[in-house]
Every structure is written in C-alpha cells, then in structure tokens.
Amino acid sequence: MYGMVNKAIQDLVTNNFGEDKWIAMKEKVGFEDDFFISMQSYPDQLTYDLVGAASEILEISAGDVLEAFGEYWILYTADEGYGQLLNLSGSDLKEFLGNLNMLHDRITNIMPDLEPPKFTVKEIGENKVELIYESDREGLASMVVGLLRGLGKRFNKNCAIEHKNLRSEFGKDTFIVSW
Ligand code: 1MF
C-alpha cells in the first residue's frame, strides 16, 4: 500500500495517543526509516503489522483500530491536500458512494501501483444503499465501516452501517448504509 496509508496511521496514533506510542509501534514492527514516503509503495504486510502493533500497544481490538483508521482517513486525505479530489467525487453521501470506483480510477492515474477495491452500489430506499466491497486484500471490512462512518460525518449525515454479508461466509462484503 502507498506510504500515505501508513502515514495516516502514524498521524492518527501520534495525534490521539502521543508520540511515544508511535515510537513503540515503530519499534515493534521494525520500521527503521525516519518517515514514510506518501507516493511510494510499501508491502501490505507493513500496514497489517502496524495495525497489529497499534492493537497491542493501545490495548484496543484490531477491528477497532481499523475502524478508527477508516474514519480518520477521510479527514486525513481532505486535510492533506486532496480535498479537491474528494469534492469532485460527490456533494452528498449517495453521490459519493456511487463515485467510489471513479475516485479510485482518478487516483490510479497518478498512483499507478494502487490496488483499489471495487464497489457496487445499489439504491434500495430513499436514504438507503447496499454497498458491495471487493478487495484483493483480506480482513479490512472493519476499515470500510470506519470509512463509511467518516463519509457520513463529512456530509453531516447520521448514518447507520450494517455489515450484512461477510466475505468469509458469502465471498463478498456487503454493507447496508442508511441515513
Ligand atoms: O493500494 C493502495 O495503496 C490503496 C491505498 C488506499 C488502495 C486503496 C486505498 C483507499 N482505501 C483504503 C485502503 C483499503 C484497501 C483495500 O480495500 O484494498 C479506502 C477505500 C474506501 C472504501 C470505502 C469508502 C471509501 C473509500 O475510500 C475513499 C477514499 C479513497 C482514496 C482516497 C481518499 C478517499 C485518496 C485520496 C488521495 C490520495 C489517495 C487516496 O492521494 C493522492 C491522490 C492523487 C494524487 C496524489 C495523492
């Protein structure tokens, strides 16, 4: 995954739990560089290791780390100079969700090593959509819950997120988002 993702984890931990927690995490995973390069690709394993280390050091479940990270990612990218890109992806929650593949296509033009997930969105009610999430990566469904929560906040929507179908059982992760 691109360094940006690891950098966002660093930022989340440093801002919310303090620099020393981050230093302990770095040590635990054996990352010895001074910083991440946003536009460089790092092994996925490093990101998984960081989540594992955060879980141990902060004493919260890995699922909760992923969820917190997902929510933070929306704020983080908006703040780090990509607000325009997010603005282009929709001015309300439904529109944004419908444009997730387009957003990732745009990013792939600039970050060719991106391995974006694929989304299928179906409107199932006035303020309700079904979102199918397919990623080559395992175990990130909790992150998607956080991402959806972060998007809800971005659009000032109090949304409910139900993880309806689990990939482990049904081959795909399906979420019902309503607001
Ligand atoms: O392969 C990758 O390195 C990678 C990195 C981040 C692939 C995808 C993503 C985004 N994704 C987070 C990790 C999930 C990994 C996976 O499932 O395999 C979030 C996807 C997502 C899911 C649900 C709801 C919203 C989601 O994303 C919203 C989003 C996605 C990307 C960005 C912002 C919001 C983004 C913004 C600016 C970026 C990069 C990503 O940086 C840029 C862009 C253009 C030029 C320079 C830097």
DSSP string, 36-83: --TTSB--HHHHHHHHHHHHHHHT--HHHHHHHHHHHHHHHHIIIIIH
Band (157; pLDDT cuts 50, 70, 90): very high
User: pLDDT digits over 34-91, tens only?
Assistant: 999 999 999 999 999 999 999 999 999 999 999 999 999 999 999 999 999 999 999 9
pTM here is: 0.97
pLDDT (0 to 100) of residue 50: 98
> Is any ligand 1 atom within 6 A of the Cβ of residue 137?
yes
Q: How far is the CA of 101 from the centre of ligand 1 (A)?
A: 10
User: Which pLDDT score is estimated for 160?
Assistant: 98
Mutation test of ligand 1: which of 1, 44, 46, 106 has the most ligand atoms closer than 8 Å to its C-beta? 1
Q: Is the CB of 69 under 6 A from ligand 1?
A: no
Give percent of the chain above pLDDT 90.
97
